[in-house]
Chain A
Amino acid sequence: MEPMAIVSIFVLAVFVGFEVVSKVSSTLHTPLMSGANAIHGVILVGAIIVADHSSTNLELGLAVAAIVLATINMVGGFVVTDRMLEMFKGNKK
């Protein structure tokens, strides 16, 4: 991809990232951190990509380990965030 396009995407994403969380209350710090944590679990996509084109056993072994870890990060992250937020529900009128 064009280097300039990548830089543009990166810079814009930085500002969007700053902006979307700028008004969060301290009550939600923990769930927000946990949710953001789950989002970076999409490295799973990267792990699947490298597993697809692995040509040696070493590469495949490392890629498989990466898939396991990334799946734990992504799925576990979303599930635990949902559990936290579930407890906030029902208490508010």
Chain B
Amino acid sequence: MSRTLYDLVGLAAGVAFILALKGLSHPKTARRGNLIGAFGATLATLVVFFYANPGSSLPLNNLGWILGAMVVGLAIGVPAARKVQMTQMPQLVALFNGVGGGAAALVAIVEYLHLGPKATTAEVIFTVFTVIVGCVSFSGSVITFLKLQELMTTRPVIFPAGRFIIAATLVSVLGVGVWVVSALGTTPLLVLAALSLLFGVLFVLPVGGADVPIVISLLNAFTGLTVAASGYVLDSVLLIIAGTLVGASGTILTRKMAEAMGRSLFGTLFGAFTAKPQDAAGSGEERPVRSGSPDDVAILLNYARRVVIVPGFGLAVAQAQHTVRELADMMIAKGIDVAYGIHPVAGRMPGHMNVLLAEANVPYEQLAEMDEVNPTFGQTDVAIVIGANDVVNPAAQTSPGCPIYGMPILEVNNAANIIFLKRSMRPGFAGIENELLYDPKTMLLFGDAKASLTKVVSALKAL
């Protein structure tokens, strides 16, 4: 295959990626957009088997190894993507991003070993960039995975002199980077990779649970840039285009996510450096709360005119989407005005709750976005908060010191009655006390969201 034809196919794949991102930005075209992207990626992968390197003979060297490795990748990636519970999808995306970053770093290392002293300074600089950013993306994504999977604490991990350690690591990463460029050895490159992996860990540890999606998005953009840099070293226009597209769109997306959560990007990434460890146990004293029975809840709902359901991650964990729909349908049948108030970051990622409720066939028109529903809480008789906490915490508006301060919330505190369905008094993902739980107009119904809802449904039926 001639170089020109190869580059033309690469260009076609690049165009497919542009159309894919464009399509993914609109609900109607999103699925098609994703398929166009998959088509472009398949095209690019197929054509490289006919022209990998200038003058390379066909079939490719090491073809057996290449195909075998792809089969292994397919055997891991496809079942993982198929079987994952929708509640666990954010951490899977983080993991996929991490392995992409790792792959880019490995490609850069192999090319560096291959070129040896023949490498130009520009090539070495791009290699160093790819190794640093690829490794940071890999280890950082692994930490976000552990946080989302709750295999480690979701609170910011802050250690004494943490910011000095992080700064020192960054300086040594850059120092070793310069060493690689000037000395051109294998050892410095491996030291660079190891230090970059360490930096990735240190960089993500201080980030609080609620901010993790922003970090995933940022690391995603980083990985895109490493792919673009690899494209330069490997002389592949396709990789430059694809990597740059992801880097640029990922940056915009990260900023939009941060805006949706009312955070500044800078504050998210570096706020934890300066944050004081919060008093973990709160005041420690037992404060009175008003807890109710499923019958109390059913009576309250029966005489309401307007009810807003605020679903959170706890609802998804309990797989209670279907039960909540049953409850909503029953209330609608009684002539009650029912809406779901969806916080933009309900769940673990922007838009995550919409995916989960769509899975339970909740009619799209009942889902109200935060800006629509907030002004209506004043006329709402009952707000039912199911497995959510941080997204309704008034501390975000009232206490400037707290980690979620400034995040827009669903103002359920304006409703006449508030019902919280919770497993326990444990604070939410961000690890902050919610004053609303102690409010006199709040009633708590403890237990698994699905079990509680089922009881409320039968109590409401009996009325």
Binding site for B on A (CB under 8 A): 1, 3, 6, 9-10, 13-18, 20-56, 58-60, 62-89, 91-93
Bound Cα distance from A45 to B44, whole angstroms: 7
The answer, yes or no, to whether B31 is at the interface (CB within 8 Å) is yes
B248 cross-chain contacts in A, Cβ below 8 A? 13-18
* Chain A CB within 8 A of B338 CB: no
Quick check: B354 and A27 within 8 Å, CB to CB? yes
B77/A73 in contact, CB under 8 A: yes
A88 and B224 form a contact (CB under 8 A): no
B449 within 8 A of A: no
CB contact under 8 A between A72 and B224, given known A43-B100, A50-B111, A92-B27:
no
Chain B residue nearest to A79 (CB atoms) is B81
Additional A-B contacts beyond A16-B248, A75-B78 (9; CB < 8 A): A3-B122, A48-B49, A51-B66, A51-B110, A53-B61, A63-B110, A64-B66, A79-B78, A91-B361
Give chain A's interface secondary structure class: helix
Contact A36 B30 (CB under 8 A): no
- Which of A18, A43, A79, A82 contacts B103, CB < 8 Å? A43
**Which of B88-96, B271-279, B284-292, B435-443 lies at the binding interface?**
B88-96
Q: Is the CB of A21 within 8 A of B249?
A: yes
Once the chains are docked, how many angstroms separate the CA of A36 from the CA of B217? 10
**In the bound complex, how far is the Cα of B73 from the Cα of A92, in angstroms?**
35
Give chain B's interface secondary structure class: helix
Residue in B closest to A36 when the chains form the complex, CB atoms: B246
Chain A residue, CB-CB nearest to B47:
A45
Question: Are B30 and A88 neighbours in the complex by a CB distance under 8 Å?
Answer: yes
When the two chains form their complex, are residues A42 and B355 in contact, meaning their CB atoms are under 8 A apart?
no
A13 touches B65 (CB 8 A): no
Q: Are A10 and B93 in contact (CB under 8 A)?
A: no
**Residue B388 is within 8 A (CB to CB) of chain A in the complex:** no
- Residue pairs across A and B with Cβ atoms less than 8 A apart, 5 shown, are A24-B256, A48-B48, A48-B60, A67-B69, A71-B70
For B21-35 the 0/1 string (1 means CB < 8 A from A) is 110111100110111
Who on chain A is nearest to B216 by CB?
A33
Rounded to whole Å, the gap between the CB of A66 and the closest CB of chain B is: 4
In the complex, residue of chain A having the shortest beta-carbon distance to the beta carbon of B104: A43
Does residue B170 face the partner (Cβ distance < 8 Å to A)? no
Q: Which residues of A contact B41 (CB under 8 A)?
A: 38-39, 41-42, 44, 74, 78
Decide: A29 and B349 in contact? CB cutoff 8 A.
yes
Are the CB atoms of A71 and B69 closer together than 8 Å? yes
Find the A residue at minimum CB distance from B72. A68
Chain B residues with Cβ under 8 A from A29's Cβ?
Answer: 253, 256-257, 260, 349-351
Q: CB within 8 A of B90: which of A15, A30, A41, A55? A: A30
CA A1 – CA B31 in complex, angstroms? 35
* Residues on the B chain within 8 Å of A53, using CB: 52-53, 56, 61, 114
Kindly identify, within residues 232 to 285 of chain B, every residue whose CB is under 8 Å from any CB belonging to chain A.
232, 234-253, 256-257, 260
A18-B248, A53-B52, A80-B93 given; A33·B220 CB < 8 A: yes
Chain A residues with CB under 8 A of B102: 66, 69
B238/A42 in contact, CB under 8 A: yes
Nearest A-chain residue to B69, judged by Cβ: A67
**A37→B21 contact, CB < 8 A:** no
B174 within 8 A of A: no
Q: Inside 8 A of B369's CB, which chain A residues have their CB?
A: 26
- Interface contact B44-A32, CB-CB below 8 Å: no
With A62-B109, A63-B107 given, is the CB distance from A42 to B245 under 8 Å?
no
Q: Which 8 A-B residue pairings sit nearest by Cβ, starting from the closest?
A: A71-B73, A17-B248, A76-B77, A29-B350, A13-B244, A73-B100, A67-B69, A79-B81
Beta-carbon contact of A38 and B38 below 8 Å: yes
Q: Nearest Cβ distance between residue A71 and chain B, in whole angstroms?
A: 2
Known contacts A49-B52, A70-B100; is-contact A31 B34 (Cβ 8 Å): yes
Contact B246 A17 (CB under 8 A): yes
Interface presence of B352 (CB below 8 A)? yes
For residue B204, give the distance in angstroms from its CB to the closest CB of chain A.
Answer: 17
Whether the pair A55, B33 counts as a contact (CB closer than 8 A) is: no
Q: Is the CB of B358 within 8 A of A87?
A: yes
The answer to whether A9 touches B237 (Cβ under 8 A) is yes
Min CB distance, A88 to chain B, in Å?
A: 5
Bound form: Cα–Cα A78–B351 in Å: 18
Q: Which of B12-20, B311-319, B396-404 contacts A (4 or more CB under 8 A)?
A: B12-20
Instruction: Name the CB-closest residue of B to A14.
Output: B248
A10 and B228 contacting across the interface, CB-CB below 8 Å: yes
Q: Are B217 and A33 in contact (CB under 8 A)?
A: yes
Please state if B13 and A42 are interface contacts (CB–CB under 8 Å): yes
